[in-house]
Structure 1
Amino acid sequence: MKKEDIVFSDWHRWVFGTAPPSFTGEVAIRALLIFIVMLIIVRLLGRRMKGQMSVSELAVVLMLGAIIAGPMQIPTAGLLPSVVVLVAVLAMHRLSNWLAFKYRPVELAQQGDLALLLRDGCLDLAALQRQALSQEQLFGQLRNQNIAQLGELRRVYFEANGHLSLYKLPEPQPGLSVRPRADTLPATTGPAQGVKVCANCGHVPAAADHAGHNCLRCSAQDWVPATL
């Protein structure tokens, strides 16, 4: 389209674009046909496409959106080439899934691996950094799963699909509260009374340690009252 073809008051171009008005009805038929083909393709892609998607499956969904956009809106674009591309994407996706099933390195390359974020109430700060996950982001997800403090947890795994898997201790221990610090009250009774915990990693020092100095796990000097 040339520069002189752009006229602000050209309402026909605003409504119909450069295609004739009769193309509007064709767009509806094209959209219906593409919708039917997409239903078949997504059904053949597998049940995981209806659940939590991996990185490779998210890439497939983005590709599908790009493929079907052209034939539905561009008068000069045919339906058959897009259907062929959709079938090719389906074949590549099924092949990649088969390779991931057969070979563990392929699965790791496609979906990534899980990460251990917490062990026995203490955060693995290096793992958090590798996953680009801040302490507050993790605490927000733990609050959504009704976790009040880190001493309740034996392990926290960050799964490849982005979900957290929690394994709790049989008996909660004093630990770092996951609530905002301004909303955290020190324990006035019970085993957590007077116990200090590292606000950086959640380490609870033993009686022989000296709370108030550097944390033995992360070297931080930020101590807060533990909760239970």
Structure 2
Amino acid sequence: MSDQRKIKVLVVDDEQDIIDILTYNLQKEGYEVETAMDGIKAVSIAKSFVPDVILLDIMMPLQDGVETCRQIREIPELKSTFVIFLTARSEEYSEVAAFDVGADDYINKPIKPRALLSRIAALFRRETKKDQEVSKITVRDLVIDRSSYTVSKSGKIIILPKKEFELLYFLSKSPNIVFSRDDLLQNIWGTDVFVLARTVDVHIRKVREKIGDDYITTVKGVGYKFDLG
């Protein structure tokens, strides 16, 4: 890879053969890799390794992937880490639960290494594009700082998981413009990721719970907009 620093990936799965094949393909591509076989160990390793990407199985002993992701999203040093769920489960509630705790992508097993590498590259391309945007937006008593992934209201810091923050930032940088659920899915989760429309509603609800109901307006039958008031 052309980066001066190798991109770090933490692979978390309770099947050794999956860990082995993913580790081989990632290292071949130039990534630095650490592994864990359960969620508790994954959180511990993530704190010291500080990976750029975490590939996380859902069904694991001791602690499942959803709870592991929730804990990871509470660690400040990992606020910008990409989390990609790898799972053999295809139920809708599993996917919703994954994105609800801050997943960036959701891939069903069996894993195709080349497709996985392509999805990782797509996440970094989107992030590079976002880094070129305006870093700070102030609306009334709300300050949204893209450079530090922080939100404050009347001077008080509000903690938002990564996708909730990106959704708020995206809406706030284009105030009074109505975006459909499909618009938001494509711009926040990307065209390479299949996400249910319901996921947008869940994230909007959670953002409102934290910043108040008077910033994001529902336009019935159309979508959502950020209201300047």
Pair member with larger Rg: 1
TM-score range normalised by the length of the shorter chain = under 0.3
Give me the TM-score of the superposition, normalised by structure 2: 0.24
Give me the TM-score of the superposition, normalised by structure 1: 0.24
Please state which structure has a larger fraction of its residues in helix: 1
